[in-house]
Structure 1
Amino acid sequence: MKKHIKTTVLALLSVLTLNSCDNEKLLDLNVNKNASTDIDQRYLLSLGMLQVAGDRYESWRTNLIYSSTMIQHNATLAGYWSGDKYYYNAQYSGAFWEANYPGSIKTLTQVVDQTKGKPESANTFAAASIMRSFVLHRMTDIYGDIPYTQAGRGLVGAENWFPKYDAQKDVYTMLVADIKTARDAFSPSARALGDQDVLYKGDYDKWRKFANSLLMRIALRMSNVDAATAKTVFTEAASKGGIDSNASNAFMKQVLGTGGGINYNGTSLALSNAAGGGGDNNARVSKTLVDFMDKYNDPRKMIIIGGLGNPYDKSTWVTDPAKQRGLPNGYTATTIKNVYPDFTTLDNFSFINTNITDLDDPTPLLSYAETELMLAEAALKGWVADDATIHFRKGVEGAIRSWAAYGVEVPSDAVITKYINDLGFAAAGSERKLELIGEQYWIATYLNHIEAWANWRRTGYPKLTPTNDPANVTGGTIPRRLRYYEDEVGSNPASYKEAIARQGEDLLTTRVWWDVKK
């Protein structure tokens, strides 16, 4: 009997072993032994960089609908442009979060994690780290406390499936550390980035300058809440050299082609009627901005403005600079008649120049003009032993000349010089100098409306008059942040609740850590 049982068991084990082998062979059939098991992370880097520049979805909602109108670069009568009248639209408010956490942040985090500690991939690691830091800096300035440490690492382990929100103060500390590490990691002996670097084509000096200018931006942003740290970060970055000419601008190059999508300029896609944008419902140039340019006889007026008329029908255009009229913020097609009783059409207000919104126009991330204006402010603060007037002049001139990248005619040297002289920076008092810097930073970041909004919240310049539509949700004040992507309430509830308990209610009026300017 025992012999029979033993024989049966051995037979059963034999069958199971054979079945196991057969199963393994069957599974092996699904494996392509000739396929690569490791992707070249430089290709993912290219994707992540273009994702940072933005597609139409988040560019339209975050950069245009909310930021451009809150900062009074643009204005609109359309109700769905929520920022113009301080409405809350959940989809639009959360769009930047919704697009970038599963998009650019996940992509770039993958590249960073796969190349970290590999000398041959040092350049890929460095570029990916800087771009990851750039988009997460923008994310925290829009929302406040955000997932940073665990962001984009959901596939690494279950511990990251419900990422914690890091306090913005800690995010800033990590940003500085990560950018410095990346900046100092570029190496000529590592694998070249080549054409996969769609920003600088493997020019590592330009990457270092971009990193230093980004550090300067971060330092100034925290200057009202941690001046000592801000000064240390700024002076270290400035000593190493930021973006020093328009040739080194961090302007993401966009291209035309069959690919579409993120190959195109996302803001231009939103403004293009032919590409499925908002068409006639889109914004016009704000009266605030037009009046500002008229006050100082700004030579950028007919660079930013295309004319009066239908922007999609050239036969209707009126391009006489003297006849341009900005659209006031905060009105609907009904209430605008309280200001202009004869109102009949938006064509009577100046539209955005279509020459600066081509689908292959660059997407601005950070510029030489911004860098020089930041240095001017730092000089006023005593952080750098430089002449603030020289930096101011370079910043304004750089901002005007930067429009050459959009294929438009730049004013002559004489016109630019006269404009700068007439601003009277050198003879102005200290506070007026800060105001002039803030105003010029504001106009220098037209098209980069998210950055203009962030810098305005920090400085209070330019001095803007809020709108007060009856349906606004802010009590007639310009929003200080956007509300979190609503999906977070249900999908990551513990982390979401912890963040708002620390930061404050999830409202458009709640201020982020560094926003203390009254």
Structure 2
Amino acid sequence: MKNIFKIMLLALPVLGLTSCDKGFDELNVNKTAATAINPVFTLNNALINASFPSGTVQYEIGVVQQMVSPNSGVLTGANFNQDNRDGTSQVWQRFYRSVVRNTADVINATKATPARSNLYNMARIWQAHAFMVLTDTYGDIPYTEAGVGYISQIILPKYDTQQTVYAGIIKELTEATAALDATKTIETADVLYGGDVAKWKKFGNSLLLRAGMRLSKVDAAQAQQVVTKAIAGGLIVSNADNAVIRHDANYTNGLGQMLNSTEAANFYMSAPFVDYLKTTNDPRLKSIAVRYVGASSGPEQTAARASTDPSIQIGMPFGYDNNSISGPVKAANLKSFYDFTQVDRTRMVKTQSPMFIVTYAQTQLLLAEAAQRGWTTGSVETYYNNGVRAHMEQLASYDANSAVPAAAIDAYLVANPFVSASALEQINTQYWVASFLNGPETFANFRRSGFPKLTPNPFPGKSIKGDFIKRLTYPNSEISINSTNVKEAIARMGADDLDTKVWWDK
């Protein structure tokens, strides 16, 4: 009996421990935490983060001579034709970390779910856009193994040739756009088009048109085939179809954020851009530009000094630093370099300004070029006029005070008529204007078309051998961590510098 009593005493702690463990797993589960994310919200993350980062002002927008800064240090870039990898890496980091990764997650989560086929194909289209921006900017990039670190544990992806990437982009855009189906689930939470299948189709085909035109120098026959396919599928037909990222207090415009804070007084509209708009009496200059007349410092750039009068706008020339710029300042009879014209940060580049990705204006101008090349039917002049008019009308989306009056648009087209003898130059120079603030696209089309005709930046301390920057350099993080694959890409493509041309830039 005594032994039985001892055994019972020894068993009590064990029983107590068992009773304490009961319900332990359930107790430690947060019943209010999400256990799964609706993949449409992951796509929204990818959509919002495709809004271009501030570094595009430093490089892409600078290369095409639309904006310039005389300051070096962290702002070194196209203004000096020098390599600054803190600036060149911004598109890479933003797009791989927040666009490619998220679209890959959506594609993985929906590919075997027929009910979400529209979401699956929307993600494919948006991912194709991201890869187009990346390969146009850098050349050879991770593509087939990109964005699958969490899915397939590939953390050191190989680099694919740009030709391979473009083949994939064209395939994805063609298949995904055709597969969109208005009879399937409509993804109304999508922040780009609210799940509107017809608009997504037009967007996908307009991207396909852009991809086809990108091949015009490297493979004209394939370019024509892709362009024909895109047109047959149906393109963006008005500004209501524009692919545009809307910003708010939580998701701000990166360009506007920079130009309204740390660099508010450090970037200026360039002389080539301002002079072109002034020479043609373009009403868009009044919509875009402001000059703080007589400002001798950043703090003196006040509303009282602000003028949007096109006749007094003065763009800053290229080729000067913050010391040598004193020469042009004196020659123009300005108070200081703070007296040059800027993009109006109270209208065009507010922190909540929209970011246009693919537009009706761009699409019409590409159609004009395709028609000029004989790749499609229709009037080149009509496409051209439609494109110019569409961009002027688009400016009202930035701010009511940026709206261009209809009469001013009509007058401009009469005073600056389409001339077939200089069609390609005229079309692509207008594309330069119509793509303002979309640095990656303006940079790509400038290299592809050779227009507008710009005078090379004469800065004496440039590091490039040629006249213009041809691509941006890889991030230092890739070189140090994914070095084997980077080295293979460099050996195949050419030096990792600003002079090496991308595949389609012949």
Give the TM-score normalised by structure 2. Answer: 0.90
Post-superposition shift, 1:114? 0.9
Deviation sequence 1:178-202 (CA, Å, 0-9, x none): 11222123223433211x2111112
Tell me the percent identity: 33
Q: 1:42 aligns with which of 40, 43, 49?
A: 40
Q: How does 1:39-438 map to 2 (within 5 A)?
A: 39-54=37-52, 59-61=53-55, 63-79=56-72, 80-158=75-153, 160-194=154-188, 196-256=189-249, 260=250, 263-273=251-261, 277-281=262-266, 283-309=267-293, 313-341=302-330, 344-354=335-345, 355-407=347-399, 408-425=401-418, 427-429=419-421, 432-438=422-428
Matched residue, 1:5: none
Post-superposition shift, 1:360? 2.0
2:246/2:354 contact within 8 Å kept: yes
Post-superposition shift, 1:498? 0.9
- Root-mean-square deviation (CA, aligned residues, Å) is 2.2
CA gap 1:452/1:487 in 2 versus in 1, 3 angstroms:
same
| Gap regions ≥5 residues in structure 1 | 1-18
Post-superposition shift, 1:401? 0.6
Post-superposition shift, 1:298? 0.6
Q: Distance in 1 between matches of 2:27 and 2:46?
A: 33
In the alignment, residue 280 of structure 2 is paired with which amino acid?
Y
Deviates more, 1:116-125 or 1:481-490: 116-125
| Gap regions ≥5 residues in structure 2 | 1-16
CA gap 1:424/1:319 in 2 versus in 1, 3 angstroms:
closer
Q: Secondary structure at the match of 1:365?
A: strand
Q: How does 1:461-480 map to 2 (within 5 A)?
A: 461-475=451-465, 477-480=467-470
Q: Secondary structure at the match of 1:223?
A: coil
Post-superposition shift, 1:47? 1.0
Q: Distance in 2 between matches of 1:441 and 1:373?
A: 7
CA gap 1:130/1:320 in 2 versus in 1, 3 angstroms:
same
2:287/2:404 contact within 8 Å kept: no
In the alignment, residue 304 of structure 2 is paired with which amino acid?
S
Deviation sequence 1:330-364 (CA, Å, 0-9, x none): 21121123334366522321111121112222111
1:469/1:476 contact within 8 Å kept: no
Give the TM-score normalised by structure 1. Answer: 0.88
CA gap 1:107/1:384 in 2 versus in 1, 3 angstroms:
same
Q: Distance in 2 between matches of 1:172 and 1:23?
A: 58
Q: Distance in 2 between matches of 1:391 and 1:325?
A: 31
Deviation sequence 1:48-96 (CA, Å, 0-9, x none): 1111124xxxx111x1111111111112211124111111111111121
Q: Distance in 2 between matches of 1:34 and 1:409?
A: 46
Deviates more, 1:36-45 or 1:322-331: 36-45
1:44/1:107 contact within 8 Å kept: yes
Q: Secondary structure at the match of 1:331?
A: coil
In the alignment, residue 309 of structure 2 is paired with which amino acid?
D
1:269/1:359 contact within 8 Å kept: yes
1:268/1:358 contact within 8 Å kept: yes
Post-superposition shift, 1:307? 2.5
Post-superposition shift, 1:150? 1.1
Matched residue, 1:3: none
Post-superposition shift, 1:23? 11
In the alignment, residue 501 of structure 1 is paired with which amino acid?
A
In the alignment, residue 279 of structure 1 is paired with which amino acid?
A
Deviation sequence 1:126-175 (CA, Å, 0-9, x none): 221111111111010000010111111011223x2210111000100000
2:265/2:338 contact within 8 Å kept: no
